[in-house]
């Protein structure tokens, strides 16, 4: 079985010239930005998925080493390995619980929006289908912005199963969040609800849109007809 060192070596061998600088800018790693201090190797997500396919499975101890890395791609590929491990054990509740607990115990390394979005729905969201979801409400009130994003983005799994209540209740909590990346996430989840139940999203927005940030609102109404979008943006609903 491969080690974390093997995977790191493979990532560096796969680096694309100039990609590191592009990723550093895209993920806002400059001073005062949300990804301040993050470091990059310069490897695309499709390349990382190919490495996972080549080397999987990777044990939790090795995944934890990668998740503690200063390099963004090491943390990303750790999560891709973790998702692969979870999906490979879909019928083993004990292993799924172990992976779910591992994930929540390692949120320190899940510290950018792409890391959350490519992992939380497939581990946290999937595990909590049919289970108590109090943990999401705890995470939604965390001082850690990424834990708050985990709470809401995980619910896309519920939405895909036509379960909308938790998403709406979490939106109630996060509706006044000051972080732009949380505003985008709540708007995104509301839009996903609207794809499946237009009236439910519309009525929720009608009641709450004056309390929402413009970012959340714009994301939420993106699929509405232009006339309806304009009415929301002008405060005429």
Which tens digit of pLDDT belongs to each residue from 131-159?
A: 999 999 999 999 999 999 999 999 999 99
Q: Does the pLDDT at position 229 exceed 90?
A: yes
Are 69 and 98 in contact by the 8 Å Cβ rule? The answer is no
CA distances from 71 to 59, 105, 126 (A): 19, 19, 27
Collapsed DSSP state (helix, strand, coil) of residue 88: coil
Distance CA 109, CA 70 (A): 9
Distance CA 71, CA 77 (A): 10
Instruction: Tally helices (H) and strands (E) across the chain.
Output: 17, 0
Distance CA 164, CA 151 (A): 14
CA distances from 43 to 19, 69, 76 (A): 7, 15, 10
Query: Quick one: average pLDDT of 152-172?
Result: 98
Per-residue model confidence (pLDDT) at position 65: 98
**Worst-scoring range by mean pLDDT, 29-33, 38-42, 71-75?**
29-33
Are 221 and 189 in contact by the 8 Å Cβ rule? The answer is no
pLDDT in tens, 67-116: 999 999 999 999 999 999 999 999 999 999 999 999 999 999 999 999 99
Per-residue model confidence (pLDDT) at position 165: 98
Per-residue model confidence (pLDDT) at position 173: 97
Mean pLDDT of the chain: 97
Query: Quick one: average pLDDT of 170-193?
Result: 97
Per-residue model confidence (pLDDT) at position 142: 98
pLDDT in tens, 3-15: 999 999 999 999 9
Quick one: which of 141, 139, 185 has its CA closest to 159? 185
Long-range residue pairs from 194-202, CB within 8 A, at least 24 positions apart, any chain: 194/220, 194/223, 194/224, 195/223, 196/159, 196/162, 196/164, 197/162, 197/164, 200/164, 200/168, 202/228
Q: Does the pLDDT at position 1 exceed 90?
A: no
């Amino acid at each position: 079985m491969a080690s974390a060192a093997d995977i790191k070596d493979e990532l560096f061998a796969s680096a694309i010239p100039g990609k590191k600088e592009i990723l550093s800018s895209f993920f806002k790693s400059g001073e005062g930005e949300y990804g301040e201090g993050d470091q990059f190797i310069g490897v695309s997500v499709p390349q990382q998925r190919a490495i996972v396919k080549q080397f999987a499975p990777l044990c939790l101890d090795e995944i934890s080493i990668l998740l503690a890395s200063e390099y963004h791609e090491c943390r990303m590929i750790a999560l891709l390995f973790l998702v692969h491990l979870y999906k490979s054990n879909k019928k083993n509740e004990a292993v799924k619980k172990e992976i779910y607990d591992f994930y929540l115990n390692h949120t320190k390394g899940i510290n950018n929006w792409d890391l959350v979005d490519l992992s939380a729905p497939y581990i946290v969201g999937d595990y909590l289908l049919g289970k108590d979801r109090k943990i999401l409400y705890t995470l939604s009130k965390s001082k850690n912005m990424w834990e708050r994003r985990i709470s809401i983005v995980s619910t896309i799994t519920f939405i895909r199963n036509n379960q909308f209540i938790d998403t709406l209740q979490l939106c109630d909590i996060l509706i006044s969040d000051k972080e732009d990346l949380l505003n985008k996430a709540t708007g995104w989840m509301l839009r996903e609800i609207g794809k499946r139940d237009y009236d439910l999203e519309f009525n929720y927005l009608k009641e709450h849109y004056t309390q929402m940030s413009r970012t959340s609102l714009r994301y939420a109404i993106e699929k509405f007809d232009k006339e309806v979008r304009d009415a929301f943006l002008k405060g005429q609903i």
